[in-house]
Chain A
Amino acid sequence: MECLKIIEELCVGCGQCTLVCEAGALTSKWGRTELDEDLCVSCWVCLDFCPVEALEVEAL
């Protein structure tokens, strides 16, 4: 099983990943991005759209 992980030190809160997340699992609030794991459908589209490589897939 794999799950999305936000690398807090790299995330800038630009919200680009949230704009392309069709499942609504990612939200941008107060300069950081938050993940609702229950909504994530593991499509990984967000990974490519992060300009600072702050998203990665982690094996559970």
Chain B
Amino acid sequence: MNDIDTIIIGAGIGGLSAGALLAVKGDHRVLILEKLPFIGGRCSSLVHNGYTMTTGAVVIEAGGALQQVFEELGLSFNLRIPDPQLKYLIKGRQLELPKKNAFQYLLSEASINPDEAEQVLKGFRETTELQPPDLSVSAWLDEWTKDPGVRGIFRALCGGILSLSLEDARAAELIRLIRARSFRRFGWPPGGNAQLAEALVGVIEQRGGQVLTNAKVTDILVHEGRVQGVEWFKDGKGEKASCTYVISNVGIRNTVELAGREWFTPEEISNIEQVKASYTLNIEIFSDRPLIEFPGILWLPMARKAAFAACPTLICPEWAPEGKHMTIILGPPSCSEEPLDGRKEFEPLLEDAREFLPDFDEKTDEWITRSFRKDWPGFRARPGHGLGPITPVDGLFNVGDSVNPPAVYGVGGAVESARDVAKRIISSSS
């Protein structure tokens, strides 16, 4: 394998986006090495008994970084967008948000005492600097309200957007996200998330690049502080290629192990080790009927653990065998750290499914629990905790959801990091 400009480790959505942008805009010859037998990482899908199941990402943002990259590459971004997008299940009613003063409406509908909702809104508007800066949402709320209805809204939003509990989520990040009104629209690709990853692979291959699956990288080769190439195993055989740039899409901790700790200062390693992930717990239910009535997200602020439920098969019937549906209900664990008592964490989520999905029959419907944690988490870095794509090794970059810029996260964060790195590489090689 000669004349490779850039080797990308990991075919997650960040690695694929970086590869496609470099191939098209930088005319780079790209080689992507993926350890798993499929592409897309946690933004992919696997078909199981006729159901299209996500490998991580539950919804895809419309108009976000991924769609922008598709448009820049001349690819069509095929997403089915539910209408309405969202409803909130509050006091037994499914409420749609008004166009104006939506947050105010939501808090006042959810509150036991509307004065408390006003109080929190005041806090929300007036908060400029938080002390300490890493104040949790729970501690921030304590300053303004004890109203369980208001707290329920924040609990659901932290869980559904940041994939964190009120205790784990930072107030600064949640306030920034709500103020930025990011992630306003979303949908589902009819071919599953894998369809998005495949489109990016198509572009890379058209430009002479290659994406290898079942290729496990064992080493990033570094000499005198500059990246030289990569070694990997495929089909039991060791392979090696040299290149000018290496992009790691396997998490910053794994990048350090592959390149060698000797290239990082103790302070850099300590910062990397402090990056914490967000965990997610899913229950997916297969049934003859949809368990919610509309195809968007049903937020569950009054639940114990669940953030929201959704039934994508209402607008993507391709995701299920004919006449069948798949409903997902999800939330974060009480603490995104190990050890995690799975039974203790999932039981309240199952209890929520029983209470808030009244047609759910746990005896006759098939249902599974899945958790995304440790080295295969909801997000590799909690929103606002990403360390950026630069490494001390010349020519070696990180992309993915462990290097989120502030106020971007998950798929959007991974793609933003890919755009950033592709831009840096193209400008330095031209």
Report A's interface with B, CB cutoff 8 A: 10, 12-16, 18-20, 27-32, 48-49, 51-52
Instruction: Pick the contact of B46: A20, A32, A48 (CB < 8 A).
Output: A20
Contact status A12-B281, CB under 8 Å: no
Main secondary structure of the interface of B (DSSP, over half): mixed
Residue pair B376, A31 in contact (C-beta under 8 Å): no
- Interface contact B281-A18, CB-CB below 8 Å: no
B99 within 8 A of A: no
- Please name all residues of chain A whose beta carbon is closer than 8 Å to the beta carbon of B281 when the two chains form the complex: 31
Contact A31–B369 (Cβ < 8 Å): yes
**Most chain A C-beta atoms within 10 Å of own C-beta, residue among B38, B214, B343, B371:** B371
User: A13 touches which one: B35, B38, B55, B342 (CB < 8 A)?
Assistant: B342
CB-CB under 8 A from B340, the residues of chain A are 31
B319 at the interface (CB under 8 A from A): no
**Interface check B374, CB cutoff 8 A:** yes
Expressed in whole angstroms, the minimum distance between the Cβ of A20 and any Cβ of chain B is 7
Q: Which residues of A contact B214 (CB under 8 A)?
A: 48
Given contacts A14-B376, A19-B53, A49-B37, contact A32 B342 (CB under 8 A): yes
A8 to B376 Cα, complex, angstroms: 14
Residue in B closest to A24 when the chains form the complex, CB atoms: B49
- Cβ contact of A48, chosen from B36, B373, B374, B376, cutoff 8 A: B36
Cβ-defined partner of A20 (8 Å) among B48, B343, B345: B48
Contact at A12–B376, with CB atoms within 8 Å?
yes
B48 touches A12 (CB 8 A): no
Q: A12-B377, A27-B368 known; 12 other A-B pairs, CB under 8 Å? A: A13-B342, A15-B370, A18-B368, A19-B46, A20-B46, A29-B342, A30-B343, A30-B346, A31-B340, A31-B371, A32-B342, A51-B376
Is B286 an interface residue, CB under 8 A from the partner? no
CB of A15 to closest CB in B, whole Å: 4
Which chain A residues lie closer than 8 Å to B368 at the CB level?
Answer: 15, 18, 27-29
Complex: chain B residue closest to A18, CB-CB:
B368
Distance (Å) between the CB of A2 and the closest chain B CB?
17
A31 to B370, CA, bound (A): 6
B370 in complex: contacting residue of A20, A28, A48, CB < 8 Å: A28
The answer, yes or no, to whether B359 is at the interface (CB within 8 Å) is: no
Q: List, in ascending order, chain A residues with CB within 8 A of B372's CB.
A: 12, 14
Q: How far is the CB of A41 from chain B (nearest CB, A)?
A: 17
Flag if A13 contacts B370 (CB, 8 Å): yes
CB 8 Å contact bits of B338-380 with A (1 = contact, 0 = none): 0010110110000000000000000000001111111111000
B375 A12 Cβ-Cβ under 8 A: yes
Top 8 nearest A-B pairs (CB, nearest first) are A31-B342, A30-B342, A15-B370, A19-B48, A31-B371, A13-B371, A30-B343, A51-B376
Are B369 and A51 interface neighbours, CB within 8 A? no
The CA-CA distance from A34 to B246 in the complex, in Å, is: 37
Considering the complex, give the chain A residue whose CB is closest to the CB of B370: A15
**Chain B hits for A18, CB < 8 A:** 48, 368
Return the contact of B369 from the options A13, A48, A49, A52 (Cβ within 8 A). Answer: A13
**Nearest CB in chain A: distance from B367 CB, A:** 10
Chain B positions within 8 Å of A51 at CB level: 35-36, 375-376
> Do A52 and B48 touch across chains, with their CB atoms under 8 A apart?
no
B48 contacts which chain A residues (CB < 8 A)?
Answer: 18-20
A26 to chain B, nearest CB (A): 11
Q: How many Å from the CB of B40 to the closest CB on chain A?
A: 12
Q: Are B375 and A31 in contact (CB under 8 A)?
A: no
Determine the distance from Cα of A10 to Cα of B373 in the docked complex, in whole angstroms: 10
Which residues of B lie under 8 Å from residue A20 when comparing CB positions? 46, 48
Instruction: Chain B residues near A28: list those with CB within 8 A.
Output: 368-370
Chain B residues within an 8 Å CB radius of A52: 374-376
- When distances are taken between beta carbons in the complex, the residues of chain A under 8 Å from B343 are 30-31
A–B complex contacts, Cβ < 8 Å, 15 sampled: A12-B376, A13-B369, A15-B368, A15-B369, A16-B55, A18-B48, A28-B370, A29-B369, A30-B343, A31-B281, A31-B342, A31-B343, A48-B214, A51-B375, A52-B375
Per-position binary interface string of chain B over residues 24-67, scored 1 when its CB falls under 8 Å from any chain A CB and 0 otherwise: 00000000000111100000001010000101100000000000
CB-defined contacts of A32 to chain B, threshold 8 Å:
342
Whether A16 contacts B374 in the complex (CB less than 8 A), given A31-B345, A31-B369, comes out as: no
Chain B neighbourhood of A13, CB < 8 A = 342, 369-371, 373
Complex contact B37–A48 (CB within 8 A): yes
